[in-house]
Amino acid sequence: MREKTRERCSEQVEDFTRCCMDSGILMIIKCRKENSSLKDCLTAYYNDPAFHEECKLEYLKERGEFRRTGVPTKKRLQKLPTSM
């Protein structure tokens, strides 16, 4: 869920990251607006029942595939070397 929300809130993540990099140690004070905007976006997705159901179905699909094959998703998605 966390990765999907970060993708969907990518604009707020970029704004907050940019602000933190520009502000340095004063980011706690200077980036409050960007931080609250990011939190609002993430919270909206975390509290959305439709999004929660979508993530649950995706997880169950991946878990079923793992149980069937025994191969984790990350390894299944890796490309095989072309030259051997």
Tally of CB atoms within 10 A around 72: 12
If one counts the domains in the chain, the total is 1
In Å, the largest CA–CA distance within the chain is 54
Rounded CA gap, 23 and 29, in Å? 9
| Domain-embedded: residue 70 | yes
Residue 83 reports pLDDT greater than 70? no
- Please tell me whether the overall predicted TM-score, pTM, comes out greater than 0.75 for this model: no
| Domain-embedded: residue 81 | no
| Domain-embedded: residue 80 | no
Tell the residue number behind the tokens 């990251």, with chain if given. 17
- Give the whole-number percent of the chain exceeding pLDDT 70: 87
pLDDT of residue 18: 93
Host domain of residue 38: 2-74
Residue pLDDT, tens place only, 45-71: 999 999 999 999 999 999 998 888 888
Residue pLDDT, tens place only, 31-48: 999 999 999 999 999 999
